[in-house]
Amino acid sequence: MKPENEQIVKSFLAHADDLGDDIVEDVEEMLGVVPFIFPILRDRPEAFALSTLADYRISRPDSLDMKTAELVAVAAAASAGADSCLKVHIGAALKEGASRDEILDTLLIAAMIGKTRILASALRRFREVCGDGREAGE
């Protein structure tokens, strides 16, 4: 890294504890809870500040309103099987004005994509082993 950039990073990281405090407060306001991983990750203030600041900025892009961003997080958490995150983001989506129906439809769409992913992979293997079911010459 260039020395001038190294100095910028060093200066930024000198404020890692303060940044961490602010991030925890902002995330608690945004989600209604502090994720259980935060207190553990705070043992590494520099990594915590860099990682969670990036996550915070990614979770609130300028191109999406907060409700839509939370519905995307609901779909992603459902798809990843992240049950605790799913619960948190369902609550945050409600807080941002999502209706019960919007959340349910988001979950159903995520489940449909998950089902399709499983079928596409499984049926490719099925076809490789069992063939496509057509008789020769058809």
Using CA atoms, how far apart are residues 102 and 90, in angstroms rounded to an integer? 10
Please check the confidence at residue 18 and state whether its pLDDT lies above 60: yes
Contact 91, 32 (CB under 8 A): yes
Where are the domains positioned within the chain?
1-59, 63-138
Please check the confidence at residue 43 and state whether its pLDDT lies above 90: yes
Give residue-wise pLDDT tens across range 77-135: 999 999 999 999 999 999 999 999 999 999 999 999 999 989 999 999 999 999 988 76
- When pLDDT is cut at 50, 70 and 90, the band that residue 136 belongs to is low
Closest CA to 31 of 65, 1, 73, 80: 73
**DSSP for 80-119?**
HT-HHHHHHHHHHHHHTT--HHHHHHHHHHHHHHHHHHHH
What is the pTM assigned to this prediction? 0.81
As a whole number of Å, the CA-based R_g of the chain is: 22
Give residue-wise pLDDT tens across range 47-86: 999 999 899 899 999 999 999 999 999 999 999 999 999 9
As its CATH architecture, domain 63-138 has: Up-down Bundle (1.20)
